[in-house]
Amino acid sequence: MTLNKKAKETIILGAGITGLSASYVSGLPVYESTDNVGGICNSYYMRKNSEERLESQPMDDESYRFENGGGHWIFGGDPSVIRMMRSLATFKNYPRKASVFLEKDDLFIPYPIQNNLSYLDKKISKRAFKEIEKNYDPPKAIKTFKDWLSVNFGKSLCDIFFHPFNNLYTAGLYKIIAPQDGYKSPVNKEDVRKSFLGNSNSVGYNTTFIYPENGLDELMRRLKDGCKINFSKEVIKIDLKNKTVHFSDKSFVSYKEIISTIPLDKMIQITGIKIAEKFNPSTSVLVLNIGAKKGESCPKDHWVYMPHSKAGFHRVGFYSNVDQSFLPKSHRGGNYVSIYVEKAYQKRRVPSKKEVDEFSKDVISEIKELGWVSEVEVFDPTWIETAYTWSYPKSKWREKSLRELERNNIYQIGRYGRWVFQGLADSIKDGLMIGAAFMQKNK
């Protein structure tokens, strides 16, 4: 076992977007478990009829651009953070185009469904409107995410969309977890009334978004150039007493303080801290990236929510409907499409290679049957171990875990480090803020 004999210093664990941002502004060293940066927020490239992943676009531009965890469109964000991002890469602006697809009726309804009631059958639309009006600001006790959906949207919309979709999206957890942030599924009585009268409008946290013109990998490379990164350093243990971080290659480093983007549940385990609460759950996501010729009925949406699918996926995203740069240069112009398909799993339910292969075949078969694609040129599955984080009703596990880690000079940041839902821009903001704070502290 080798020892880093340098004087103890503050270190950063994880070179995802948050860790990179913290290092970029502070100059502190980063330890990353893989041999690349960006985590799930990174692009990669594949030529047609190939299984090789390329880190950057080939010189001839003849490859599909995919992302590790599906499309990471950048929404919201503090103006100063967006300004900083634009100083590193060129971005384009996009208005959201998303739908709910009711396969049985072959019906696309603009998202969010509750703000587009006029697309439904008149009887169903009227019933759904009355249920939302009746249930608005209810006195009922709400314990679970399923309760919250039922109370806010009523039986009709829950039967049509909210219950089956969120059952897939949470891998069945929606029945036992606490309600998630309401801004994901906005409920505004006046907006619903307008939609019922036929005046649909676009609402929600991601009505517009931005994306780097040359892919997320460009933004990651620019951040990486300003960081000190130690690759292939997978953390397996943190010795709190001796203040050392131990890696899988049998090396270790002493630390003064830690800024960590490692998922909160994993951090509690590798530090050996005992929390007198049940761990909050998370879900993993299997993402299948596909490059193909378009089918006759290929949607024009950026992404489509699927409450019912034969293969069990909950969302299909269309990279190339956002921007044609996701396609090989010779394929741009309208006849090809690049897609990502998401299926959720409870975290400890890791599919075997056989299951992944079968899922890939089932997905391709289903989207061909729908007429969304015809000939598939390339497909590639990626696995995101911690994709979405959830909480049990009345749980204090998150707060207790963060507090206990801070008592031991470990500061969790980012979406997974702090066990919160947030977009990429807010994750960058987390990194910049704590990086700046520690830069001042360590002067």
Q: How far apart are CA 341 and CA 336, in angstroms?
A: 16
Reported as a single tens digit per residue, the pLDDT across 182-193 is 555 656 666 666
Residue range 2-37+214-278+395-441 in CATH 2.70.98.10? no
CATH number of this structure's domain 43-72+282-389 = 3.90.660
% of the chain at pLDDT higher than 90 = 73
Distance (Å, rounded) from C-alpha 337 to C-alpha 334? 8
pLDDT on residue 181: 62
Q: What gap in Å lies between CA 114 and CA 110, rounded to an integer?
A: 9
User: In this structure, how many other beta carbons lie within 10 angstroms of the beta carbon of residue 54?
Assistant: 15
What confidence tens digit (pLDDT) does each residue in 368-390 have?
Answer: 999 999 999 999 999 999 999 99
Task: For the beta carbon of residue 244, count every other beta carbon within 10 angstroms.
Answer: 16
Q: Give the model's pLDDT for residue 1.
A: 45
Listed in sequence order, the residues at least 6 apart from 76 whose beta carbon sits closer than 8 Å to its beta carbon are: 205, 206, 423, 425, 426
In this model, does residue 105 exceed pLDDT 80? yes
The residue ranges of every structural domain in the chain are 2-37+214-278+395-441, 43-72+282-389, 98-196
What confidence tier does 131 reach under pLDDT thresholds 50, 70, 90? confident
